[in-house]
Amino acid sequence: MSAFPTQAQVVIIGGGVGGASIAYHLTKMGWKDVVIVEKHELTSGSTWHSAGLVGQMRSDANLTRMMHYSTDLYRSLKAETGQDTSWREVGGLRLASSFERMEENRRLVGMARSFGVPMEMISAKEAQDMFPLMDIKGVVGAAYTPNDGSIDPTGLTNALAIGAKNRGAQILLYTTVTGINLKNGRVHEVVTDKGTIKTEIVVNASGMWGREIGKMVGLSLPVIPMAHLYILTKPIEGVTNKFPNLRDPDLLVYWREEVGGLVTGGYERQPATFGLNGIPKDFKYQLLNPDWDRFTPLMENSIRRVPAVENAEVKMLLNGPEGFTPDGEFLLGPTSVKGFWVACAFCAHGLAGAGGIGKVMAEWIIDGSPEWDMW
């Protein structure tokens, strides 16, 4: 076992998919003296219970570029690291159930194609041919992305961590960051329950704990933990592993195939916060109580678009927390405290975003600015 490092070029707080990807990319760009500090095990925060969808279409060109980069990376990670990630390139459909949404889809497809994402507009019938259990009543058309996919969140995180370790990164598990000392207004030391690490750069990749870590340097970061819900069904007749991921933004619901059944969840109009007065101290690999009352509107919308969900046997209703920001986008970049960087609150699309997030953060830290404009 390696000795506890007393100094490092960069300390990353958090061993979820975000922290692992940042370490992967920093080491890929040549920095070796990189340490991840994780209070439990890799993925034990929000990452392990992710629904596994990797979609590329976002409302902003550079966010779409980040997701596109992620898919390219995820396709190649197993060959590079030997770690299976269960990457499945099943494609993705984004329905338009209104003319306004259709316009939006057209605009986003045009934008994404301009930098090489192979998206195309298809008819409602063509979408149904790919996902035959879908009721296309009210569907005007769809955007189709053939290289969207799904991935095992634990496999992905482990692969990124292996890549980082192979290039020199050190990962400290069961090590809790308890403080960050500043000197002359900039990051100087990270204090943990196992010892202190001298460093000039700290990356706060602690997900929904982002606000708590921010307080250690006197910052009030806009990170709010929220509960996110999805169900996993037993096999449903007619579902095959050829089904693309499906999203209906007008109904706020998504679906993806899993062992002959469906994962279906979505975004609530009245989401529930979690741990606003502090996340319970030993919160690891934990879920919140299944909340059928809150899930009911999503379930109704899911059934509306995919009627077979109504009679499907539900294996579980998963209720898991994750960090969100007020604008629903990632919190990334430098802060007013010199040497203190943030990469947290991934708003329920951090699995898809992690590849791009790692690249952007590594370029920003090493080169001073990322390839793509993040403002």
Ligand X SMILES: Cc1cc2nc3c(=O)[nH]c(=O)nc-3n(C[C@H](O)[C@H](O)[C@H](O)COP(=O)(O)OP(=O)(O)OC[C@H]3O[C@@H](n4cnc5c(N)ncnc54)[C@H](O)[C@@H]3O)c2cc1C
Residues in the chain: 375
Q: How far is the CB of 185 from ligand X (least distance, A)?
A: 22
- With CB under 6 A as the contact rule, the residue among 65, 68, 88, 349 that binds ligand X is 349
How big is the site for ligand X, counted in residues (CB under 6 A)? 39
CB 31 within 8 A of CB 9: yes
83 binds ligand X (CB under 6 A): no
Q: How far is the CB of 38 from ligand X (least distance, A)?
A: 5
Closest to 359 in 3D by CA, of 330, 328, 324: 330
> Whose Cβ is closer to ligand X: residue 339's or residue 355's?
355
Binding mask 26-65 for ligand X (x = CB under 6 A): -----------xxxx---xxxx-xxxxx------------
> Whose Cβ is closer to ligand X: residue 25's or residue 349's?
349
> Binders of ligand X among 95-124, rule CB under 6 A?
none
Report the first-to-last Cα separation within the chain, whole angstroms.
41
Burial of 53 (0-12, 13-18, 19+ CB in 10 A): buried
> Whose Cβ is closer to ligand X: residue 65's or residue 136's?
65
Binding mask 152-191 for ligand X (x = CB under 6 A): ------------------------xx--------------
CA gap 224, 205 in Å, rounded: 14
Query: Is the four-CA dihedral 219, 160, 266, 91 of positive or negative sign?
Result: positive
- With CB under 6 A as the contact rule, the residue among 57, 171, 205, 342 that binds ligand X is 205
- With CB under 6 A as the contact rule, the residue among 10, 11, 12, 19 that binds ligand X is 19
3-class DSSP assignment, residue 106: helix
> Whose Cβ is closer to ligand X: residue 108's or residue 229's?
229
Query: Which window, 12-20, 77-85, 117-125, 236-244, contacts ligand X (CB under 6 A)?
Result: 12-20
Which residue's structure tokens are 């010199």?
A: 338
Q: How far is the CB of 230 from ligand X (least distance, A)?
A: 6
Q: How far is the CB of 43 from ligand X (least distance, A)?
A: 6
Q: How far is the CB of 229 from ligand X (least distance, A)?
A: 7
The β-bridge relationship of strands 340-344 and 202-204 is: parallel
- With CB under 6 A as the contact rule, the residue among 141, 149, 207, 370 that binds ligand X is 207
204 binds ligand X (CB under 6 A): no
Output the six-digit token pair for 7.
Answer: 């100094």
Closest to 283 in 3D by CA, of 227, 332, 232, 342: 227
Half-sphere exposure of 321 (CA within 13 A, CB side): 26
Mind giving me the DSSP string for 287-356?
-PPP-HHHHHHHHHHHHHH-GGGTTSPEEEEEEEEEEE-TTSS-EEEE-SSBTEEEEE--TT-HHHHHHH
Q: How far is the CB of 44 from ligand X (least distance, A)?
A: 5
Closest to 22 in 3D by CA, of 341, 368, 347: 341
Q: Which residues here bind ligand X, judged by CB under 6 A?
A: 13-19, 37-40, 44-47, 49-53, 176-177, 205-209, 228, 230, 318, 320, 322, 344, 346, 348-352
